[in-house]
Amino acid sequence: MSEATIANESVIDPHQSQADGSAQPIGDKERIVSIDVLRGFALLGILPMNIQYFSMISAAYTNPTAYGDLHGSNFLVWFVCHVLADEKFMTIFSMLFGAGIVLMTSHVEAAGRRPAPLHYRRMGWLILFGLLHGFLLWRGDILFTYGACGLVLIFSGSCAHAGCWSRDWPLCASRAFA
């Protein structure tokens, strides 16, 4: 038996669950490549702002003169980052987070399972990693906020497909940033 045959026989159907009922990741053929590309694009767009934040004092993120002069290349880098990147890529990434929740819940429901337990487990891990990262590495971590907002979004249930989730974001944002 060749290695390719063995590999093909060990592939698990993503619509089936394991014996313990846990969900499986989707296969490569089921991935939506455009969403993966957009997610990578959003992460790369956030990178220049994080580089700026990590390389200077915190006040320089909103006031570029706090770290030095704002002439020549300093002005050009600041202007390009703040006009083209600041907050724009975070918005794209946030929309992709919500789209990922809708896709995951749709996938789990199509397999005949309830999405809430899997969703709560995923958000729990996201909150845990966010807390650890926020307290141990960087206080500007966003993972905890995504996890907390994800817990609120699931309450929208089937209404999320109709766009009603937009009413939950202001509530979630006000609690996250209060």
pLDDT, tens only, 70-90: 888 888 888 888 888 888 888
**Per-residue pLDDT for 107 more than 90?**
no
- Kindly report, residue by residue over 144-173, the tens digit of the pLDDT: 999 999 988 776 654 444 444 444 555 555
pLDDT digits (tens, 9 = 90+) for 36-81: 999 999 989 888 888 888 888 888 888 888 888 888 888 888 888 8
d(C-alpha 125, C-alpha 132), whole Å:
11
**What pLDDT does 67 receive?**
81
pLDDT at 152: 84
Instruction: Write down how long the chain is.
Output: 178
